[in-house]
Amino acid sequence: MNTVLDVFSEYGVEAGDLEKARSYQARHGGRLDQILVNMGSLTADALPSIYSQWFEVPVLTASDWRDWQLPDGTESLPLEFLTARGWLPWEHDRDTWVFASCTPLDLEVNAWLAERSTPHTLKLLTPDDFETLKARLGLEQRGSQADGLSLVEEDRLRELASEAPTVNLLNSLIAKALRRGASDMHIEPHGGRGRVRFRIDGVLHEVDSVSQAMLLPVVTRLKILAAMDIAERRRPQDGKIEIRVGGEAVDIRVSALPVGEGGESAVLRFLRQAALAYDMSLLGLSPDIEARILEDLEVTSGVILLTGPTGSGKTTSLYSFLSRINSPEVKIITLEDPVEYQLAGINQVQVQPDIGFDFARGLRSIVRQDPDVIMLGEIRDRETASVAMQSALTGHLVFSTVHTNDAPSAFTRLLDLGVEEFLLNAALRSIVAQRLARRLCSSCATVHPDAARLMSRYELDTLAESFGLVEPQLKQSVGCDECGHTGYRGRLAVVEYLRCDDTIAAMDKGEHFLAEARKYMRASGGRSLLEDGLLKALSGETTVEEVFRVAG
């Protein structure tokens, strides 16, 4: 008979983690399996297989439920109650029910079954398969199959998606995207065809098209590779593909979204571990701002916040900061949603809101892991913010992000969330607002022919003099084979830095705070996002037009 450790160890759980989970269970209660998931020692996807060993019942596969439909007599069951808790009535034979579940230990369902004394047996489903069946159930309840596929249609679609022209076309598009250094590829119906766009250095470029006849097979091929339901075309779906291209391992996150006229838009995000180097020197920070951030990284407590919209490079900067301070003497734990890249020597934990393991609860858990440094993917609510500030006051260096337009606005955002002002004043070390501007291609950039007019129009001489730039030189993008004729290669950080010192802490955080903070920031040698970008344009690293695009 296998022990609990034997079962869990098959899925990567170490004896030390199991002991910690048991200790936590003894103090606070809860299920051992769920505690291990919350600790990050066990993935939720492994639970059905573990339950199968525990209960000696099978895990259903797609072939088992291809022709499944609700059994007769289901109207006598509280279907909404059951499905909300991860259970489905699978079969009904006289007085005995067979249930399929991804949560066999749910207390409420088991209590309901015990109260009714309902004879039943159990089969297991993965969470993803349960959601697929639940979605199918929703279609059946509405009494319409107008948008579904028959088994014959589904099989034919699989055949088309597996034929050589479809496979070769999709492989060619993915290879081209990776060669061009794209972070994302968009395939979407547009004007009677499939438009293919690559996001390169943050900007979308239309690069190819797919015929109308090939669009559905290509999207279906993506769904098959990403383990999605190809028969489901009315609901958004997400999946993941792991492939090797030219000897390089690439993870691809796939999102399918229904759009007008029955079509679907597919977006692929490429995660290339080998192509990433989390090095602060590669961020493109201005020397004075980099020096201040390096000072912040030497402290042992406080909160360092990065702000900016989605896609502004906050996570890359955070990873670079963590890599800078990562050493055997420092324990670093991150809490992310999702964990997209693995950092050697750093404990990375993914939040799982669907089981109640959110940022706030996760933060409370990892504090008990004796970390020196904590990184939170995002501060979204009052509880997370308060625990983060309190953690900083008890001797932890905390990194996180918030969504604001500039550095001073992070104060008002956190106050709006309900965080006490004294906590912010005591805990915040610095705030870094960031955008990403495209870097000029060094092979083809030339001196801007209209530089004198631009210098005068935007008073750039004054800005250059204020920050000691002796020989400003504006350049323009041209385009060549090296940069794919875009004029740019790579990106650099445009940054606004605010040190939360005693003067900032003493300021009243009322309606005049933003203006006063900006005034103080400028007086102490700081500058706005726009000014930092324009300084980079004056240094020939990017263009004035690009700066206005991202920070204007």
Quote the pLDDT of residue 274.
60
Residue 416 has pLDDT above 90, yes or no: yes
What's the confidence (pLDDT) of residue 200?
92
- Measure the CA–CA gap between 315 and 347, rounded to whole angstroms: 16
Please give the mean pLDDT across all residues of the chain.
86
* Whole-number pLDDT of residue 160: 74
Q: How would you class 181 by CB atoms within 10 Å of its CB: exposed for 0-12, middle for 13-18, buried for 19 or more?
A: middle
| Amino acid (one-letter) located at 222 | L
Specify which of 142-146, 156-160, 338-342, 372-376 reaches the highest per-range mean pLDDT: 372-376
Q: Which are the contacts of 462, defined by CB distance < 8 A and separation ≥ 6?
A: none
Ranges 11-15, 29-33, 163-167, 491-495: which has the least confidence:
29-33
Task: Quote the CA–CA distance of 328 and 231 in Å, as a whole number.
Answer: 50
- Contact of 478 with 487, CB cutoff 8 Å: yes
404: its two tokens? 């604001």
| pLDDT the model gives residue 138 | 64
Reduced to 3 states (helix: H, G, I; strand: E, B; else coil), residue 210 is strand
Instruction: Confirm if 464 and 480 have CB atoms less than 8 A apart.
Output: no
Split at pLDDT 50, 70, 90, the class of 515 is very high
Q: Which residue has the higher pLDDT, 113 or 152?
A: 113
pLDDT in tens, 175-205: 899 888 899 999 999 888 889 999 999 999 9
- Cα separation values, 465 from 152, 191, 470, 535, Å: 73, 51, 7, 10
Cβ within 8 Å of residue 106, ≥6 positions away: 85, 86, 87
- Give the pLDDT of residue 30: 67
Distance set, CA 104 to CA 48, 69, 85, 134 (Å): 9, 20, 9, 16
The pLDDT assigned to 417 comes to 92
The yes-or-no verdict on residue 513 having pLDDT over 70 is: yes
Answer yes or no: are the C-beta atoms of 133 and 68 closer than 8 Å.
yes
Give the H or E element holding residue 383.
Answer: helix 382-393
pLDDT of the residue at 214? 86
Instruction: Give residue 62's pLDDT.
Output: 78
Among the listed residues 464, 438, 444, the one whose alpha carbon sits nearest the alpha carbon of residue 527: 464
78 prior amide bond cis, ω within 30: no
CA distance 216 to 223: 10
Q: What is the pLDDT of residues 453-497, one digit of tens each?
A: 999 999 999 898 888 888 889 999 999 988 888 899 999 999 999
Identify the sign of the CA torsion 188, 191, 192, 195: negative
pLDDT range class, residue 308, cuts 50, 70, 90: very high
125 phi, psi to nearest 5 deg: -130, 150
Helix/strand/coil for 379: coil
Reading the block at residue 474, the tokens are 């504006």
Checking if the pLDDT of 411 tops 80, the result is yes
What's the pLDDT tens digit per position in 17-35? 788 778 767 766 667 777 7
Question: What does each C-alpha distance from 445 to 66, 442, 457, 471, 547 come to in angstroms?
Answer: 58, 6, 22, 17, 16
Q: How far apart are the first and last CA of the chain?
A: 67
- Among all chains, which residue has been given the structure tokens 């119906």? 189
Contact 445, 544 (CB under 8 A): no
Q: Write the pLDDT tens digit of every residue in 121-148.
A: 889 988 778 877 877 776 343 333 334 5
**pLDDT at 152 (0 to 100):** 58
Q: Are 213 and 225 in contact (CB under 8 A)?
A: no
Helix (H, G, I), strand (E, B) or coil at 473: coil
Query: Would you report the helix, strand and coil content of the chain in percent, each value rounded to 5?
Result: 45, 25, 35
> pLDDT at residue 444 above 90?
yes
CA 42/CA 21 separation, integer angstroms: 11
The secondary structure of 238-285, three-state, reads EEEEEEEECCEEEEEEEEEEECHHHCEEEEEEEECHHHCCCCHHHCCC
Of 360, 128, 89, 117, the closest CA to residue 239 belongs to: 128
Of the candidates 482, 462, 481, the one whose C-alpha atom is nearest the C-alpha of residue 472 is 462
Confidence of residue 356 (pLDDT cuts 50, 70, 90): confident
Tell me what pLDDT residue 500 has.
Answer: 95
Give the span between the Cα atoms of 227 and 238, in whole angstroms: 9
Q: What is the pLDDT of residue 51?
A: 84
203/486 Cα distance (integer angstroms): 10
Question: Which residues lie below 8 Å from residue 77, measured CB to CB, with a gap of 6+?
Answer: 89, 97
Pick the closest to residue 496 from 524, 474, 469 (CA basis). Answer: 524
pTM, two decimal places: 0.66
- The confidence score (pLDDT) of residue 1 equals 45
Q: Which residues contact 516 (CB under 8 A, 6 or more apart)?
A: 507
| Residues in the chain, total | 552
Residue 2, pLDDT > 70, answer no
Which has more confidence, 76 or 506? Answer: 506
Q: How does pLDDT run across 312-338, given as a tens digit for each residue?
A: 989 889 999 999 999 999 999 999 888
pLDDT for res 33: 78
Concatenated DSSP letters of 385-423 = HHHHHHHHHTT-EEEEEE--SSSTHHHHHHHHHT--HHH
Tokens of 398: 């905390």
Across the range 309-313, mean pLDDT stands at 88
> Average of pLDDT values for 222-249?
85
pLDDT for 375 = 94
Residue 142 has what pLDDT?
35
